Amino acid sequence: MKIKAKLLAMEMVSLFILLVVLLIMGILVSVDGLESRVEETLKVALAGYTDDVNVYRNSGRDVDITVFADDTRVNSSISGAVGTKASDVVIEKVIKQNKVYFDNNVSVNGVAYYGYYEPIEGGMLFAGTPKAVVNKFIRSTVAVLILSGLVVYILCVVLVLVISGRISKRIIQASERIGVLAKGDLSAVIPERDRKQHDEIEDMNEAISVLHRELKNIVSIIAKKADQLNYSNAEFNSKFSNIAESVNNVNIAVEEIALGSTSQAQETSSAGEQVSDMADVIEQNAKNTSYLEQAVHHMTELFSETNKILEELVHINDKTASNIVIVSEQTNETNVSAEKIKAAVQMIQNIAEQTSLLSLNASIESARAGEAGRGFAVVAEEIRSLSEESANSAGEIEQITKELLENSNISVKKVEEVNRDSQLQKEKLTKTKEAFRTLKKEVDSVAEVSQNIFEQTKRLESQKNTISSVFEQLASISEENAASTQQTSASMQSLSGTIDDCRRETDALSDLGLSLSEQTKKFKF
């Protein structure tokens, strides 16, 4: 049954019960008052009696007079009453006790009367009115009362129809608005408060409008922040992909440097052995000198290539450091956005609590109103359900935000570790570059020695130790270069692992952003 029908049924039943009660009370009061009036009228009739028992009948009034001699009627305006006796009750009350007596059911010759007895010397007087006359008057009075009650009832029903129609219309409007909000549709126009209305229904409508407005603002903010978070995650993924590609290139370059350093160390050792053999095989000096020139030329080419690779490696390292700074800034912005989301969730929870309190107050008021408040109880229950759903949704968003903050903090720590590794890598690259500069000087020295070796053939024996020392230094430098490149390779592998961790964390952030977007898509605004 709809609220309007319930209100009509409740009001009409209440009015009908009230009408019946009032009619019964009116009839009882009228009958009781009428008997008193009849008694008073009969008393006055006896007071005005002047020995003519037909005086009142002759004047058109329904009042009969009877004169008793002791207990027997000796003169009466009632036909056939003369000679009859009074009842035992009348004899006892009037004659024996000498008191006036009124009876609403006196039978005279089979006719019922309202009778009033008064004692006199030697007998008593009787004044009576036929009961049928009084009953006819009572029936007419009751008919008038019933007719009046029906007219009033009809007017009240019309008034109830108008009032209940207005009340039910406003309640239905509130119910429809709550139903729309429950479905997540926040796009409806929020009506202005009706200043002419100052009742609980208008307060409820205004509370729904406040809830609608606040939910719309909160969900809009969450949706925008979710889009920003998804965009930032996409940027993170792109940056990490570039970093990973650069790290792979650096790893390849470092491996090539390591191979070149190893080859250089082997060639330097071989050259040292040949220089040591020069004392015994002087006749092969020219051949060995030519081999030495080729080795120096090859070392120069390797140095040039290695120097270029180091320059690229330094550039890539600087670019990596710059990207890490960008990642750190983006991660901090993500934390700030997550804090804002957390504040928005708190606002939703506060609104849900206020809505719950509103529902509780409405339930209390509806309970106080009894039958009239059942409609309000239904509305209060719907508001309470909406409050619980809002609180549950706010709890889910709060949990997602908490996970987002935790993952974002992990990302910050990982970025800091990557930054430290990048600084360490930069230091290693600087040391490697300095080592190659030293190697260049040594290679230049070897080239100079190679060019003058023919001129120094006679002094070859005395310079053998010096050349051997030079090649030992070259071998030591080559070994150091190889060790440095291995350390650099290990650092780059560590950096690659860290970047993979950051990428996984970014994927987790992307999942959280998508989850948040899915939550906001439940609302239409």
149, pLDDT greater than 70: yes
Q: What is the mean pLDDT of the chain?
A: 75
pLDDT above 80 (res 165):
no
Distance of CA 344 to the CA centre of its chain: 10
Condensed to tens digits (0 to 9), the pLDDT of residues 451-505 reads 676 566 556 556 666 766 765 676 677 677 667 666 776 776 776 777 777 767 7
User: Hey, which of 67-76, 239-248, 417-426 has the most confident mean pLDDT?
Assistant: 67-76
Q: How far is it, in rounded angstroms, from Cα 151 to Cα 447? A: 131
Q: What is the pLDDT of residue 128?
A: 92
DSSP assignment string, 288-314: HHHHHHHHHHHHHHHHHHHHHHHHHHH
> For residue range 38-53, what is the model confidence (pLDDT) as tens digits?
889 899 988 888 888 8
Nearest 5 degrees, angle CA 335-CA 338-CA 344? Answer: 150
Which structure tokens are listed for 265? Answer: 């160390």
User: According to the per-residue pLDDT averaged within each range, which of 94-108, 361-375, 456-470 is highest?
Assistant: 94-108
Q: What is the pLDDT of residue 101?
A: 93
Q: What pLDDT is recorded for position 137?
A: 78
Q: In terms of pTM, does the model score above 0.75?
A: no
Q: Residue 462 burial by CB count (10 A; 0-12/13-18/19+): exposed, middle or buried?
A: exposed
Task: For strands 64-69 and 123-130, give the pairing.
Answer: antiparallel
